[in-house]
Structure 1
Amino acid sequence: MKTNRLEAFSDGVLAIIITIMVLELKIPEGNTLESLKPLLPTFITYILSFVYLGIYWNNHHHLMHASNVVNGKVLWANLHLLFWLSLLPFATGFMGENHFESLPTALYGLVLLMASIAWGILFYVLRAQHSDDTVFSKAYRSVWKAYMSTALYAAATALSFFSPVIAISIYVFVAVLWFIPNKKIEQNIIAE
């Protein structure tokens, strides 16, 4: 099977997730800057989650363009990833509404951790479908960022109970780490 239907479905789900997140932003009861102040934690969390969804969308796009095979395992691995990403609006609202308290910050980290693990599963299911001389294998030789991200999410989730500020700083650091796509991936995809 080709990847276009899988990519279109995933794009639609991610668009719905973003829509759900933005609908969770409440309109303030006032028209002053002071009336916006209570919404700041929710808005900051929304921005971080929006960036994360953008990162997943961008990297999913590259992953599908580098791939030339989709089978049942890939479809289920992709659904597994989308499941965890679909929980991001809940975790975003929970953390923002509770002003970065320990448990909501840990839950947010747990969702990011599980999405990272799901990404790894999708990646390895796809990798098993491609020989060493394919665009996919050439584009994805190094996966250190994925391993490091998973470890950082796990650490940040645990740290949430001691210092939510440090945990959130780690979540932001990982987002910055992934914000700029890997140029080697783009070069290998364009070269083919």
Structure 2
Amino acid sequence: FPFTTAWMGENHLAAIPTAIYGFVLLMAATAYYILQRTIIAKEGRKSILAQAIGTDWKGKLSPVLYLAAIPLAFVSSWIAGGLYVLVALLWLIPDPRIEREMEKREE
């Protein structure tokens, strides 16, 4: 992230650095998805993580927004940057699902 973030900033949201930044974010989202699936495969569908994730709308929406932002960077890098900020804001709000599932199991 640091290299592409700096590159994008140094070039004032030029199309190519902005698109590559989106690709890096997309790869991070993909790694997060793979990690979730691997843990659930090991722990089972009844595990705390599997129950807490549920539909995981943020996890599914994030890569879709990144995929949309990558080609949009060549149309308007500001719109692409706005989508990156939107995803960051979505994840800034704490997700209480795992904590809630753990509390249920303790009762």
With structure 1 as the length reference, what TM-score do the two structures score?
Answer: 0.52
Match of 2:98, SS state, is helix
Query: Is it true that 1:160 corresponds to 2:73 in the alignment?
Result: yes
Match of 2:43, SS state, is coil
Q: Distance in 2 between matches of 1:172 and 1:185?
A: 24
Q: 2:88 aligns with which of 152, 171, 175?
A: 175
Structure 1 residue runs of 4 or more that deviate by more than 3 Å after TM superposition: none
Match of 1:132, SS state, is coil
What is aligned with 2:3? 90
Larger Rg: 1
With structure 2 as the length reference, what TM-score do the two structures score?
Answer: 0.90
Task: State the 1:108 CA deviation.
Answer: 0.7
Q: Which has the higher contact order (CA 8 A, sep 6+)?
A: 2
Query: Is it true that 1:110 corresponds to 2:23 in the alignment?
Result: yes
**One-letter code aligned to 2:59:** A
Identity of aligned residues (%): 44
What is aligned with 1:127? 40
Q: Is the 8 A contact 2:23 2:66 kept in 1?
A: yes
Task: State the 1:110 CA deviation.
Answer: 0.6
Q: 1:151 aligns with which of 50, 64, 68?
A: 64
The one-character-per-residue Cα deviations of 1:74-115 (angstroms, maximum 9, x if unpaired) are xxxxxxxxxxxxxx0110110011111101111111100111
State which drifts further: 160-169 or 176-185.
176-185
Match of 1:129, SS state, is helix
1:1-192 equivalent positions in 2, closer than 5 A: 88-191=1-104, 192=106
The one-character-per-residue Cα deviations of 1:94-141 (angstroms, maximum 9, x if unpaired) are 001111110111111110011111111111111111223321222111
**One-letter code aligned to 2:20:** L
What RMSD in Å do the two structures reach over aligned CA positions? Answer: 1.3
Structure 2: 5+ residue stretches without partners: none
Task: State the 1:156 CA deviation.
Answer: 0.3
Q: Distance in 2 between matches of 1:101 and 1:151?
A: 22
